[in-house]
Amino acid sequence: MTGTWVDIAFGVFAVAAAWFGWRVFVTDSMVRATFSLLASFLNVGAILVLLLAEYLGVAMFFMMGVEMTVMAIYMVAFMMNPAGLNPMQMVHQPRVAVVVGVLSTAGFGAVALAADLDTVAIVDPDGTIRALGHELMGSSMLVMQVVGVTLVATMVGAVVLSAASGRFGPADVGSVPPAIVPGDDTTRPGVDVGGDGGGHDHDHGHGGGAHGHDDGGDA
Amino acid sequence: MIEVAGAAHPVVGALVVVAVLALGAMAVAVTESVVTAHVAGSPLGSAWSRPWRRAALVLARPQPVTERPDTLLWVLAPAAYVGMAALGLTVLPLGTVWAVADVRTGIVVLGSAEVLAMVAVFLHGWAPNSPLPLVAGYRFVAAGLSFLLLSIFVLIAAALPAESMSFGRIVASQEDGAWNVLRQPLGLPLFLVVALAVSLHGPLDVADAGELAGGTTAEVSGPARLAWGFARRAMLTTYAVATAVVFLAGPAGPLLPGWAWLAVKSLAVVVVLVWIGQRTARVPVERFVRVAWTVLLPLSFLHLAIAGVVTLA
């Protein structure tokens, strides 16, 4: 009886994971795409829990939640789609992707259906898994730790270098905003062109501040 | 998968979770009302009925319409937030040897609920397609990425003496030794910060009404607003229970049954949290992020190191 419920749950999670994965590429917004991908990962995590890889599954909920949130914010910040509600094309090289997708699905499907897979748990007769565990957690541990600390130091360094207020003073000293009309320096924000020069400043500030609005708001 | 507590039937477990969240949210609402009346020096008599009258008032208001909102996500965000409060509650022991699912990965499940609650708050601000809620959503993510790390280090420290990530084992380790509130004194204040922040309460209510012209709820009114109010109080309930379990040995105690001890301790935590919320000013999110990374996070490292040394000693 429990086995039946596990089978049903597996089917539901698998279909949901595939469906949300498909949604990533048909939606027209970065935020929707990112959180559809998160939903797909959550379903994969649930399948891992069903497969008794409990920690891996739950860790996937945790890690993908943080990762996809950060990704959504970076996508909105760096893609030309403020607030994620304007339409945009979500696919690159669709023909190649379709061919690769069909081939890999067929390949994995053929392996799953045709291969003579073991139905009983492998007891690790050669001690391979145990040896791998000892290798990772034993003599190679120092290497892993050094790599980990190096990665953290790199991330902290990247944040320090990109921060607006660094230890050597503000990072934007000497930088100038680009001209609104390319090539015409008199339209550069902050440049006083005589008379009411502050007008450009104001216009620019307003345009920047209104990014949260949908474009439809102008109509 | 089940370590300490007996497994509940799924239907029983679901009913218990719904009942605890509903009762807890009501208790939080009444506590808020009573504490407010006490702080303001007004008579306590009407404080007991005020939450109900206020809920009826909120329910009767119409919902404004924004331009091209993501209606599905907007409706689902409060549900997802309550769902994460429920997910967190399932792994917490609610009786002496009883939890809905006392899994081996308990603290990771609670951490996941916290992360996905952050996603729900962000989408609650994003979905109306309106500037102020969107800004509030971003601000909450900035705060969230800061307090998530705190909560993980505090929970790992609690898992060290228990030698397990299961909340049942964490309670058992406190019954054998001292309560974590004494054994790991830095943990409780750090975890209260997390509880206030994740449930959008008090000084760390960086995403909700009153902050930045309305926060994520700026465009929300009527039944949806009532649902969001319930969701925040349900989340506070889950984190009050988690605080009681991790630091006050949860259901452990003499004479009374386990669930009664847990209820008493959780209610005490709720009163403390609501009291802090009433007596402290809202913290600007920039300042909170700065304090979180430069003060609280190093403190949580120190806390974890001390917990490790004490466990080994």
Cα B184 to Cα B306: distance, rounded to the nearest angstrom: 8
Structural domain includes residue B222: yes
- DSSP lists the bridge partners of residue B43 as none
pLDDT of B48-76, one tens digit each? 888 888 888 888 888 888 888 888 888 89
Contact residues for B35 (Cβ-Cβ < 8 A; gap 6+): B271, B274, B275, B278
- Chain B positions contacting chain A at CB under 8 Å are 1, 67-68, 70, 103-105, 108-109, 111-112, 115-116, 118-119, 122-123, 126, 129-131, 134-135, 138, 141, 144-145, 148
Domain count for chain B: 1
Q: Does residue A208 sit at the B interface (CB-CB below 8 Å)?
A: no
Structure token digits, residue A144? 């892993």
Residue B205 three-state SS: coil
Q: Taking CB atoms and an 8 Å limit, are A55 and B104 in contact across chains?
A: yes
Q: Are A65 and B68 a contacting pair at CB < 8 A? A: no
- Strand ranges (DSSP E) for chain B? 93-95, 98-99
**Parallel/antiparallel/unpaired status of strands B93-95 and A169-170:** unpaired
Closest CA of chain B from A217, distance in Å: 8
**Going by C-beta distance under 8 Å and a sequence separation of 6 or more, which residues neighbour residue A119?**
none
Which residue among B109, B134, B148 sits closest to A58, beta carbon to beta carbon?
Answer: B109
Looking at residues A203-212, what average pLDDT do you find?
40
Query: For testing the chain B interface, which of A61, A74, A81, A149 should be mutated: the one with the most B CBs within 10 Å?
Result: A61
Domains of chain A, by residue range, sit at: 1-92, 177-209
B chain contacts of residue A216, beta-carbon cutoff 8 Å: 67-68
| pLDDT per position as a tens digit, B26-41 | 999 999 999 988 888 8
Report the amino acid identity of residue B218. Answer: A
Residue B2 in any domain: the answer is no
Q: Does the interface predicted TM-score (ipTM) exceed 0.85?
A: yes
Closest residue by Cα to residue B82 from B20, B39, B10, B134: B20
The dihedral formed by the CA atoms of B170, B175, B179 and B184, expressed in degrees to the nearest 10: -50
Contact state of B115 with A58 under an 8 Å Cβ cutoff = no
Token pair 């000693």 is found at: B313
pLDDT above 80: residue A218: no
Q: Look at A183 and B243; give whichever has higher pLDDT.
A: B243
- Report yes or no on B81 lying in a domain: yes
Q: At B196, which amino acid appears?
A: L
Using left for φ > 0, alpha for ψ between -120 and 50, and beta otherwise, residue B169 falls in alpha
Q: What is the pLDDT of residues A92-144, one digit of tens each?
A: 788 998 999 999 999 999 998 898 877 777 777 778 888 888 887 787 788 88
Instruction: Tell me the C-alpha distance between A95 and B225, whole Å.
Output: 46
Please name every residue paired with B93 in a beta bridge, in sequence order, or none if there are none.
B99
User: With bands split at pLDDT 50, 70 and 90, how would you rate the model's confidence at B210?
Assistant: low
Distance from the A92 Cα atom to the nearest Cα atom in chain B, whole angstroms = 25
pTM over cut 0.90? no
CB under 8 Å to B240, separation ≥6 — which residues?
B24, B28, B195, B266, B267, B269, B270, B273
- Give me the domain span that covers residue B75: 10-312
Mean pLDDT of B132-152: 90
